[in-house]
Structure 1
């Protein structure tokens, strides 16, 4: 199902429940609206729901993320919080604690029912924190830590932007747009996705997260920049291989070693 169709179903579903519902309104109720719709799609058929697989929940959340990004393109892509000054909710409702906890609970329910293979499990916030601590452990050797920085930044971007690993490892320096001192955000562009070859480019706007430094994209990019010496040309593949001697190899982009670090922290994707 295409993102546009999912968005259309989401709007139709809520208008049938409440003809006065406004699809463009974004407030404290929006995360509940998202969870209610996903429940309708993926809840048990015995309770009157459609009983679709966990992958449907993941694709639905991603499609609704795109919808709310379209409505409010300048909002933060990584958080959902109340602005105490304006008394308005800022960020993406799909990133709210309510939706995140709902998705984790749904995944566990589907897993118990044998409907979710471990290879399809999405990473939770706790998983990302554990990856951070593992990849950047102070006890690591210099070589291990350098490789860990690259792995962690790649996983963090995949998690923040809801990308597949193959999409992340194919990112290039040219996909990153940031003007230090002028912009308080980083734009990350992505080419056309395999499922939808329409020529439409996807992009994400990432803001700093001082409340949780372990998932702050600004800090992640600073780590990556400090790792890459002046000898690394800022063009071509963004994520590079680290040799056994600790050298960053621009001629060898990172492609297939990601599952290794997940096994070390007991995660599988």
Structure 2
């Protein structure tokens, strides 16, 4: 009976915590109210504000915020999620430790990327509940002893994140050799993808793969962004100009639309990184049987045939994603 009663009390406490979290989140994070249809300017302003963060990212952040509040309420039922004090950076560090600390020590053992996502989500939380605070500092007012700014920007959290990354790297969980691709890397990638000794299917897949990698490198795009262009995104006039113009509709840093295009010039001094040559190779690979509409990058089947019914619309970043 005692055990049953303890379980009942535990469930009641859990329900109470969840209800408390729901009230806190509903009253704070929903900072984009329904559009005021009576005022077109207010409606348009609300649309702009909502576009500052994607719905998926926002949902993920809210999920992390709920977990953060739940964690501290279970540790201390009197903990105030909206209170910001000198202890708040330590609260953030404790939660990230619970998520990313070593599993052997009783923590969840998640990757460093989880810590980065958590810090971003909690930045959203503290910006939401304190919208008038500075977003680039963390300091105490001498007169009132109140803490100003974002606790996620505090030196304590910054040092903790640096230490966590180094700890993860030593444990082999974070690549210590990650760096931007160099010109020499692109040359080696060119030779790997365009291997004349490869089979027809491998050569065709390699041409498509290298074209995507080269455009991503030249335009400084993510792999998931470089596979978005359509045939209509490429404006190329052979014989009339020395560059090809490429446009994107959206990208991660421009959710409401990319307002500029990229002009990629032919490179006769270094043909391996010439975007015009790469696109000409791509056109020759596709031939006359491929319709010039839809996604630009298409898959190649095992026999070497171009499959326009299965375009490459996303990528995990691995070479096989382009095969």
TM-score, with normalisation over the residues of structure 1? 0.52
Cα distance in 2, alignment partners of residues 126 and 199 from structure 1 = 33
Question: Is 1:244 aligned with 2:302?
Answer: yes
Q: CA deviation at 1:184?
A: 1.6
Question: Is 1:122 aligned with 2:186?
Answer: no
State the match for 2:274 in structure 1.
216
Give matches, 1:88-237, under 5 Å.
117=175, 121-237=179-295
| CA offsets 1:86-138 (integer angstroms, 9 cap, x no match) | xxxxxxxxxxxxxxxxxxxxxxxx99x95973695321111111110001111
CA RMSD of aligned residues (A): 2.7
Cα distance in 1, alignment partners of residues 244 and 320 from structure 2 = 26
Query: Secondary structure, in 3 states, of the residue corresponding to 1:140?
Result: coil
State the match for 2:142 in structure 1.
none
Question: Is 1:256 aligned with 2:315?
Answer: yes
Cα distance in 1, alignment partners of residues 184 and 254 from structure 2 = 31
Higher normalized contact order (CA 8 Å, seq sep 6+, divided by chain length): 1
Cα distance in 1, alignment partners of residues 304 and 214 from structure 2 = 22
| CA offsets 1:51-98 (integer angstroms, 9 cap, x no match) | xxxxxxxxxxxxxxxxxxxxxxxxxxxxxxxxxxxxxxxxxxxxxxxx
Check the 8 A contact 1:192/1:202 in 2, yes or no.
no
Query: Secondary structure, in 3 states, of the residue corresponding to 1:191?
Result: coil
Which structure shows the bigger proportion of residues in helix conformation? Answer: 2
Check the 8 A contact 2:169/2:175 in 1, yes or no.
yes
Unaligned 5+ runs, structure 2: 1-164
Q: CA deviation at 1:194?
A: 2.5
| CA offsets 1:144-201 (integer angstroms, 9 cap, x no match) | 0000000000000000000000111111101000122222211000122233334342
- Count of aligned pairs: 153
Q: CA deviation at 1:234?
A: 0.5
Check the 8 A contact 2:267/2:274 in 1, yes or no.
yes
TM-score, with normalisation over the residues of structure 2? 0.43
Unaligned 5+ runs, structure 1: 1-109, 263-269
Check the 8 A contact 2:223/2:315 in 1, yes or no.
no
Cα distance in 1, alignment partners of residues 221 and 177 from structure 2 = 15
